[in-house]
Every structure is written in structure tokens, then in C-alpha cells.
Amino acid sequence: MKVIVISHLWPRSQAPHLGVFVAEQVVALSKLCDLSVVVPIDRTFRREEVKFREVVKGFPEFRRRTHPELATVPGIALSTVSYRSPLRREGHELNAAQRLADSLRTVDIKGVDLIHAHTLFPDAIAASLWLRDKSIPLAVTAHGSDVHSVRPGVLKILPRSLERADAIIPVSGFLRERLISFGANSEKLHVIPNGFPADHFSAPITVERDPNKIAFLGRLTDIKRIDLLIRALALLDAKITLQIAGDGPLRKKLEMLVNNLGLTKRVTFLGMLGRDQIPTFLSSVALLVLVSQREGWPTVVFESFACGTPVLATSVGGLPEAIASPNLGVLVPEDVTPRRLAAELRTALQRNWDRQTIRLYAREYAWDKIAVRTFELYRQIIY
């Protein structure tokens, strides 16, 4: 079976974690079929890239974004297609998708059995326009952020685009319901969650677990509400500490909050961790905490489970499906207050968790098993 994956989300030297879940799925699926990847590159100037300082320096940010050093995968053919969207994409989404579709026409699809597009916009919509007069089956995966942050212009053109898809793969049941509300045909919807790279978590970890240490791992953005977690920490016993792994636009603001609350000795900002550092990090803490406003199917939850570490998270998106049992972690309401969160953290830290049960649960979501489910869906829509 010959498959082409279309995804603008793909790891690159300046953003190694971008779309890593797509790359990991490709690796797993490549054991089952002949896979190649096409990465769309939007070469339109963005507002922040044409400021005076950028112009004087020769547009370095624009050059880095539009000429990325993409991560390669042994045995996987990787190529790019470039396109230019309207300077103001909002309200012109169909135009942007059509321009990408026009660029995709340069892709050789002779002998290809299926196209798999990741994210609704621009990839899936552009793929549907590209393939509308062709008989090649199209599968579309919706990962979460593309559904949660969908713009009115995308919503307007989405139902017709999804009609062209032969299979639509939301990574959680929550996203399935959202897609139905957008006009997707429920008969085409097949929930298949993202997996996690179990091989990375199979080696024995000798690090000692700190029963008083909690952790966050992810991008430092408003949606993740790390400020809520920091404020809850201030209400806990002084022996409880927090390690924040990741980076993002809110880092300086969060560091100021930590300083203002007098928590500098209890909160550590680790910055970005390499993939090989994550198993040791998650094995060294008592609890992973994720109090996001919205989520799709965060892979970090299963990486934590693979280390025997329970997860305390808000009951949003696919998290109630991921933390399917109280033996795996704790769910708190989306509108949780710092005081309520502190109480839940205190209780979770005092609990004697069955870490082996948690590890065994994670194995069911290894990428190899998820890839088999995806491959079987490929077979279903091709044959």
C-alpha cells in the first residue's frame, strides 16, 4: 500500500517538538505500508516578520520559517511544497487553501493508494480541493487545536471539504462530537487516538521518585494555565515543589509570578527537554499536572503513564477519555480555583498509587498498536 501524508506540522531544527506526533505516527505506519511525507510551507510574510529590525537584518525570521531544516526519518521520502496565502488569511481561508491545493498538484500521485492529511486547515481543506476530481481516497486527522481554534472562515468551507474525505479521524470522542456539530458525516468518523513512542520508555529508569515533586510538561501558553498551578502551589506545604518543563511566550510572565509569590526556591523552569530526557523527568516526579482550558488528546498523558506517574488534569477535551479510571489520575472541573486545585493536589500526593497498573494501561496506546488501527482503516476505505 502506497500512502502520502500531508502535514504542515513536522519537526524541524528550530522547533523539534512541532508535529512530533505526526512524525511518530509516520514511523509506526512505515512498518506496515510504503509512506512518503509532503510538508506544506507557507511563504507569505507575516506581520512580525516585516518590522524595521527584521527588515534591516534581511528578514531572518521569515527565512528561518520558510526554509526550515526538517527532521528526517530513515526510509521515509520527505519533500515540501511552497505556497503563498493572502497577506490577511482571516476571511480568505478558501483562497489560502486553494493556493496550497494548486501547489499540491505538483506532487506525483501515480500509483498512490491513499492521501492522509493532518489538521483541518490548511492541509485537509487543501487536499480535498486538490483531489476533488480524482478517485484517490482521502483520510483526514483532526488533532485538537485545529478544531478548538477553528475560525469562522474555515467553518464556512469545512462541511463541503469534509464531504470529499473518505474517513475522518478525530483523536478523541470529544472531537468527534465537535466535528459532527461542524457538519461532518458521522458515518465517516473513526476515533483513533494519538499514541506515544513506547520504545523510548522501555529502558529501566533508576532515578529516585520524589514524593513531593509535581510537574508540568508542555508549551507555556495561556491555554495551559500554568499560572493557576503556580497559585495553587503557593497554598501547599513548603516541601511541595514544581518543575516546569517546556518553553513559550509566557515564560517571563510566569517567572515574574513565581518571584512575586515568593516561590523561587520551589519552582524550577527547565526549558525544553530533549525526547530522551522525558522518561527520566516523568519518572522522577510524583504527579504530572495539566490544567488546560482545552485539549485534544495530549500525548504527554500517556508518556507520564508509561513512567508509572499519575496525572491530575482538568476535565476538558479528550482528557476524561484518556484518564479513564480513578486508578490513573484525578480529573478536576475546568473552572477549578487555586484553592480547590491545591486540595486535589494534596490528596493526590498522599495517595498510594499502583504504578504498575498505570504502566500497563499506557501500553495499549503505544504507537505500534495505534498504527495497526490506522492501517486497518486505510484498508477499509481503499478496498
- DSSP 8-state symbol, 208: P
Classify burial at 227, counting beta carbons within 10 Å of its beta carbon; exposed 0-12, middle 13-18, buried 19 or more: middle
- Same domain, yes or no: 339 and 371: no
266 & 357 share domain: yes
Is the same domain home to 179 and 310? no
Same-domain check for residues 53 and 177: yes
Q: Give pLDDT tens digits along the chain (383 positions).
A: 999 999 999 999 888 889 999 999 999 999 999 999 999 999 887 777 677 677 777 777 778 888 899 999 999 999 999 999 876 666 688 999 999 999 999 999 999 999 999 999 999 999 999 999 999 999 999 998 899 888 888 999 999 999 999 999 999 999 999 999 999 999 999 999 999 999 989 888 889 999 999 999 999 999 999 999 999 999 999 999 999 999 999 999 999 999 999 999 999 999 999 889 999 999 999 999 999 999 999 999 999 999 999 999 999 999 999 999 999 999 999 999 999 999 999 999 999 999 999 999 999 999 999 999 999 999 999 98
Count structural domains, the chain. 2
Residues 348 and 224 in one domain: yes
User: Phi/psi of residue 242, each to 5°?
Assistant: -130, 130
- List the CATH number of the domain containing 30: 3.40.50.2000
**Quick one: 181 and 221 in the same domain?**
no
Asked whether residue 170 falls in the same domain as residue 208, the answer is no
11, 26 Cβ separation under 8 angstroms: no
Residues 182 and 261 in one domain: no
Answer for the pair 156, 184: CB distance below 8 angstroms, yes or no.
no
Residues 191, 213 within the same domain: no
Same domain for 270 and 142, yes or no, is: no
Number of Cβ within a 10 Å radius of residue 215: 25
Asked if residue 215 and residue 348 are part of one domain, the reply reads yes
Per-residue pLDDT at 45: 78
- Together in a domain, 8 and 149: yes
For residue 237, count other CB atoms closer than 10 A to its CB: 10
For the full predicted model, state whether its pTM sits above 0.85.
Answer: yes
Range of the domain at 268: 198-363
The rounded distance, in Å, linking the Cα atoms of 216 and 223 is 13
